[in-house]
């Protein structure tokens, strides 16, 4: 796990490795070729010797690589690459050998989280690739036949040859769904490589191609529920086994929920030593889950660390935590707190239960979407008639009735939205509204619950949760691995029929697949999630911080000043029309603009 940065240009400016030092504090290095510079900061996890350092060239010297991530199946790949003479025990060298043999098809053979760039000194071309789920970021910019890339936007802006400006269309998308879908970002001219894609830059031209499609669900026989349970456990257990590979201390996040408990249970099954687990507890019982984490820790005999936080201490650190953010969202501080605690305990790698809700219908939105399909005939009524009666219903209910359909591409953005289109048009009166459709036409051929899974995995999960997991863990020089996002597990679970996946109780398909591993106290307790009383804090101790950010945002003349102040006044007066999440999205945006120097 590392930070990468590079450029193909005539610039003699040295790459600013210090700006991504937190991603890899163990070593750093710059490689220079003919008009090419690659930089790398290393967080040493696999092959701690000098042989694991980057940037790295293959035996022939033709290919040079800078790589961020981990390749979990590198040992199996290494055994198949018998024509290559390996000199190290690193997964980095395996990528080079795989590319030497398979060329542009290289990413298809890699199982892991990754973003990398390979320079071909013979063809004078650059090959870049990003993992299937977007666990690792890859930002780039093309200007005047020059190509720049980095793991972080802040670092990229230090080497591009233009002054950064906000992209208003992306700003509208950010307000709508608290994130921006690839390939765009909030900065004009700064792009992100789409997930499961590779790109080739040569002679000023950049071509992007997909190498995996989440819609490529394997055609399996789902007639026998016992076989389904067996396959799910085997695939998840195999993913956990591969992701436990590490040459440095490794542990797991343990909230006491079903997903993190499942990962810890499978880790314990495959480890000869007690697993180190970490939970965060709070004095306020309303959002303290430490008692449930303790139950799981005891059952699986883990070496458990329960970190108790006082909400006052956490609140006071919010400005500091948000200053670490490279890409704004309405989430993130939660992940920072856990990552910091794990790192302070001396670990460099932690496994996470992220992904269980998305695959096994754990969110309320799954059931809402499923049940709505029973009433689809309502949306056969004329659109003008539905728009006339929709104001009779408050909030999202009225907006739901006004939708063209309740198909996934129309329903999902409403399900996850923060600001409505009408609210955005008031905040950004000079900007046309835009958001990229999340979904594909082939999606409708899949089970209803799987349609929503794909929307979640392609939307909020990819652009908010995984992005925040990366930036907040790497701010603490910690690698977080996510076993639920093994692509073979994803493909299999997406094919399971609704009749077998529909939860009889929370994530019943997952729980039954792991029987009898998970304790009943964990399975049948109310879902809490790792959250804080933001609403109360923002009207209390964080009020001045929020107000200062809103005032500073207004001075930028990006938004309607009157509308900004109206939102803030209504929130302070506890008006139901303004939820804390809307204000927080604006507060985080202002902090981010300060972070990147705009």
Report the candidate in 296, 259, 247 with the shortest Cα–Cα distance to residue 275.
296
CA distance 69 to 113: 5
**How many helices (H) and strands (E) are present in the chain, helices listed first?**
27, 17
Of 2, 106, 546, 588, the active-site residue reads 2
- DSSP letters of 151-185? SSHHHHHTTSSS---B-HHHHHHHHHHSS--TT--
Report the candidate in 440, 378, 434, 437 with the shortest Cα–Cα distance to residue 406.
378
Is position 2 annotated as part of the catalytic site?
yes
CA distance 536 to 246: 41
- How many C-beta atoms surround the C-beta of residue 382 within 10 A? 8
Encoding tokens for residue 45?
């996890």
Indicate if the alpha-carbon torsion angle 380, 381, 385, 391 is positive or negative: negative
The 3-state secondary structure of 62-80, one letter per residue = CEEEEEEEEECCHHHHHHH
The CA-atom distances, in angstroms, between 505 and each of 156, 453, 493, 528 are 46, 18, 18, 15
CA distance 83 to 187: 44
Report the candidate in 67, 211, 208 with the shortest Cα–Cα distance to residue 142.
208
Q: Where are the alpha helices (DSSP H) in 483-560?
A: 487-494, 498-501, 508-513, 520-523, 534-539, 543-555
CA-atom Rg of the chain in angstroms: 24
- DSSP letters of 195-263? TTEEEEEETTEEEEEES--TT---------HHHHHHHHHHHHHHHHHHHT--SS-EEEE--SSHHHHHH
CA distance 43 to 477: 7
Encoding tokens for residue 500?
């077998």
Q: Which residues are catalytic?
A: 2
């Amino acid at each position: 796990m590392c930070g990468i940065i590079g450029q193909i240009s005539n610039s003699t400016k040295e790459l600013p490795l210090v700006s991504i030092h937190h991603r890899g504090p163990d070593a750093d290095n710059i490689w220079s070729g003919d008009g090419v510079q690659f930089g790398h900061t290393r967080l040493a996890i696999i092959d701690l010797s000098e042989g694991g350092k980057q940037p790295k060239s293959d035996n022939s010297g033709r290919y040079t690589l800078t790589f961020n991530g981990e390749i979990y199946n590198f040992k199996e790949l290494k055994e198949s690459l018998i024509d290559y003479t390996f000199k190290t025990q690193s997964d980095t060298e395996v990528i080079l050998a795989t590319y030497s043999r398979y060329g542009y098809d290289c990413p298809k053979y890699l199982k892991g989280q990754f973003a990398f760039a390979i320079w071909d000194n013979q063809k004078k071309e650059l090959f870049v690739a990003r993992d299937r789920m977007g666990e690792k970021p890859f930002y780039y910019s093309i200007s005047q036949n020059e190509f720049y890339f980095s793991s972080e936007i802040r670092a990229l802006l230090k080497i591009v040859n233009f002054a950064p400006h906000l992209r208003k269309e992306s700003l509208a998308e950010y307000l709508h769904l608290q994130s921006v879908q690839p390939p765009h970002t909030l900065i004009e001219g700064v792009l992100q490589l789409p997930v499961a894609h590779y790109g080739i830059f040569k002679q000023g031209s950049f071509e992007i191609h997909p190498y995996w499609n989440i819609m490529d669900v394997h055609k399996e026989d789902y007639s026998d529920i016992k076989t389904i349970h067996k396959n799910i456990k085997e695939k998840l257990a195999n993913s956990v086994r591969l992701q436990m590979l590490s040459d440095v201390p490794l542990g797991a996040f343990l909230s006491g929920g079903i997903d993190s408990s499942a990962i810890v249970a499978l880790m314990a099954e495959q480890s000869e030593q007690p697993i180190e687990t970490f939970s965060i507890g709070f004095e306020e019982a309303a959002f303290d889950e430490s008692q449930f984490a303790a139950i799981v820790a005891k059952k699986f005999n883990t070496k458990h660390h329960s970190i108790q936080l006082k909400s006052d201490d956490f609140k006071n650190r919010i400005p500091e935590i948000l200053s670490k953010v490279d890409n704004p969202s309405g989430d993130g501080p939660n992940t920072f707190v856990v990552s910091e605690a794990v790192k302070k305990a001396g670990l460099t790698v932690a496994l996470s239960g992220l992904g269980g809700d998305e695959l096994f219908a754990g969110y309320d939105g799954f059931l809402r979407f499923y049940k709505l399909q029973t009433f689809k005939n309502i949306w056969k009524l004329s659109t003008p008639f539905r728009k006339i009666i929709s104001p009779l219903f408050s909030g999202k209910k009225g907006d739901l009735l006004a939708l063209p359909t309740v198909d996934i591409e129309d329903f999902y953005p409403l399900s996850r939205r923060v600001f409505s289109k009408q609210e955005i048009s008031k905040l950004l009166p000079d900007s046309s509204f835009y958001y990229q459709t999340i979904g594909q036409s082939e999606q409708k051929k899949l089970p209803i619950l799987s349609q929503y899974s794909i929307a979640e995995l392609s939307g909020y999960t990819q652009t908010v949760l995984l992005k925040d997991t990366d930036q907040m863990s790497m701010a603490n020089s910690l690698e977080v691995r996510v076993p639920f996002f093994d692509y073979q597990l994803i493909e299999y679970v997406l094919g399971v029929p609704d009749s077998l996946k529909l939860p009889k109780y929370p994530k019943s398909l997952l729980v039954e697949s792991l029987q009898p591993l998970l304790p009943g106290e964990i399975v049948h307790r109310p879902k809490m999630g790792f959250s804080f009383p933001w609403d109360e804090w923002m009207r209390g101790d964080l009020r001045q911080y929020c107000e200062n950010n809103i005032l500073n945002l207004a001075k930028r003349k990006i938004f309607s000043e009157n509308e900004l102040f109206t939102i803030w006044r209504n929130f302070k007066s506890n008006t139901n029309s303004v939820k804390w999440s809307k204000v927080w999205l604006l507060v985080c945006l202002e902090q981010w603009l300060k972070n990147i120097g705009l």
